[in-house]
Structure 1
């Protein structure tokens, strides 16, 4: 049997990505692998991707270490393969969908849609009569932990007290006291440094570009959503929504899709290069989510065509996929408008930053039971604040206000929907 050495270079993973960071090897030198077997996990600027083996053979060399950023076309590893068996070789397959990530400690949150100030994922209290209120897009997502923290190095800076001789001051003598020394040692400051790579780098660049390119305007609206919560409870109890996890976020997502039909300017894109305003013909609804790898905004394609139950299922799938670490570039591309659910952190409102390329993002605050004017009196109601940020090049103040008011009307009195469609 004749063998030959074949190098495998980082393939083009699409979406215009030119480099990826090697997160982990799934093989070692000397391992025999089969065609399409997982050989490595790499992190692009948008997702964690599992690379399949383009050959069946023995791993003879690993060219890069985990934590290294590799450009498209650069060598990753080498295989010793049977030349005879390779005679009918076909081109290497494309990268497989993102791999599920091993457990680790999850970091920050959600943030601007680009973020709602972006990922995540604590939960706001809901009325007792309300439907399930776990609206967190990504509560406690798993990640790569130590692998994702490659390069982190703690730096200790212990406090060194003076020696405290006969001529020393009272404060110096106190510092030399055994109890004080013990206390100071317990308060050592520890720094960690982590390379800015992958999704975190991409998100930071996108946020800066969005904040300093699109003129942001944010407007707020506080509404009584008790009627919507009551309606969802009745629908679930009567069976129409049985088996579907319909939450406040689901209702808001549906309201956004409906309100867009009356104010399509919020579902558009400013194409600077072409000198055109692009009006999207469909709603690809992004849901901002903070993950251990940073902020992501996967989107639900053609959300405007989905029923309430279908939208609930799509949101559930989005969460499940993200928790499993399988959110791929295709799930992150093509968004047209976004929602960020800051309410899951107990936050009432915020001023979210636009997801680059989109005209608007809606922040959903925490639903709170509080006194509210109702039918000529004061009653305890479920109240929430909505905050809409929009690109003032694309959306006038009147348009932004009308859109937000429409969303509010749908949520505060679902029956009005009949008059709006």
Structure 2
């Protein structure tokens, strides 16, 4: 019996997702909950588990397609015998899906009213929809250079030529995340590389070889393109999509909805630096790798108990101010796909070592592109650590629905007044942006001063209950 699986809403209320890659092919035997594909939404790359055990009958979309929610994605022949020893069978996945692969739900091919939903709610599927194809990268028909590939023009070039003839449409190249990162760093367009690895997989050596021999030419539609704006000036055009598009929409909505106010405080954090050093030297806490970000996160959680207006949101539709009783602390993470702000659930209940572990795990998951949509919903307050980039201060923009965001600058060793004398001290600048509809200047300033006091004297945290 043939069972059709339609693309479910992944819990973000988004109408579509891009198919990054298939992990199965037509004719493959798959087990229940085995990961069959990766799809990219505006927020994250999500692994899709198989809703059936059987044989892959038809793949209704190709890598690179933008598929609407509710559109046919894959069909299975569920009448075939499947088992771990079946010929050609894949290694089955775990019986229970992990946090990145929510429990699958199936959809009947004739059920157009309600499709599968991986998290239990979301946008209604659309019946009869066909995948929308992104423009495919094409190979050039002729070139005036001996180079056989294109380099993304992130660095200046003397001669930029635009391809005038395109032919031989092909699929998105197969590669691994580390190889894609290397290609991005070297400015290499993967779409024009022929992989030498198993099954045509593009390897690091392929990328390096191309980077050494490539000449500057333009990429095809749908990728970054280079154009001659004038006789002596070139420009690069990048498509707006994915995380970048989502971030831009959210920031514009926040900037023009909530009246932002930013206050700054420069603090002597020498005592915190000494505390961090001692904790990292202690065998019982060294493995947690506690840093100033974790201490600042703890200080924020403690201060929010006394300043609940910073842990609230403005409900325009309901005409209410909603104050939260717990802290879902967002931590801004810079990734290859753009800025994401996953949050640590109930961060106010965690110890300092637990907070450090949670921050490290959050950052690792985000940079791997595996942050789940659920982890980026429901934040109540956020922190962004601009100090890791050597920046002293900034004016952070609020995440929509949150009343405050704290930016932590770089820790500088500089002359500072200490106990009536000038001494070299560790100094950091904190910047707090808040929604002035919810938070008065006095409330925001007192909150920031309390966070600064904990960083100045970490022992004061013992007094904050």
Query: Residue 223 of structure 2 corresponds to which residue in structure 1?
Result: 152
- Tell me if 1:353 matches 2:350: no
Aligned length: 344
Query: Residue 139 of structure 1 corresponds to which residue in structure 2?
Result: none
- Tell me if 1:105 matches 2:181: yes
Gaps of 5+ in 2: 83-103, 107-115, 120-175, 186-219
* Deviations 1:297-345, CA, capped at 9 Å, x for gaps: 1111111111111111111221232233321012111110000000010
Query: Residue 191 of structure 1 corresponds to which residue in structure 2?
Result: 236
Greater Cα offset, 290-299 or 31-40: 31-40
Matches of 2:414 and 2:453, distance apart in 1: 19
Matches of 1:240 and 1:401, distance apart in 2: 36
- Tell me if 1:271 matches 2:334: no
Query: Residue 52 of structure 1 corresponds to which residue in structure 2?
Result: 49
Query: Residue 72 of structure 1 corresponds to which residue in structure 2?
Result: 69
Change (3 A) 1:81 1:417: closer
SS across alignment from 1:251: helix
Tell me if the contact between 2:279 and 2:290 (Cα under 8 Å) persists in the aligned partners. no
- Tell me if 1:43 matches 2:43: no
Match 1:289 to one of 321, 325, 333: 333
Larger relative contact order (C-alpha < 8 A, sep ≥ 6)? 1
Shift of 1:159: 8.1
Tell me if the contact between 1:21 and 1:197 (Cα under 8 Å) persists in the aligned partners. no
Match 1:243 to one of 275, 278, 287: 287
Equivalent positions of 1:20-39 (< 5 A) are 20-39=17-36
Change (3 A) 1:188 1:217: closer
Change (3 A) 1:237 1:72: same
Query: Residue 166 of structure 1 corresponds to which residue in structure 2?
Result: none
Tell me if the contact between 1:27 and 1:39 (Cα under 8 Å) persists in the aligned partners. yes
Change (3 A) 1:417 1:190: closer
Query: Residue 165 of structure 2 corresponds to which residue in structure 1?
Result: none
Query: Residue 121 of structure 1 corresponds to which residue in structure 2?
Result: none
Tell me if the contact between 2:54 and 2:81 (Cα under 8 Å) persists in the aligned partners. no
- Tell me if 1:5 matches 2:2: yes
Shift of 1:411: 0.5
Shift of 1:34: 2.9
Shift of 1:396: 0.4
Tell me if the contact between 2:262 and 2:431 (Cα under 8 Å) persists in the aligned partners. yes
Stretches of 4+ aligned residues off by more than 6 angstroms: none
Shift of 1:420: 4.0
TM-score of the pair, normalised by structure 1: 0.75
Matches of 2:282 and 2:335, distance apart in 1: 36
Tell me if the contact between 1:50 and 1:95 (Cα under 8 Å) persists in the aligned partners. no
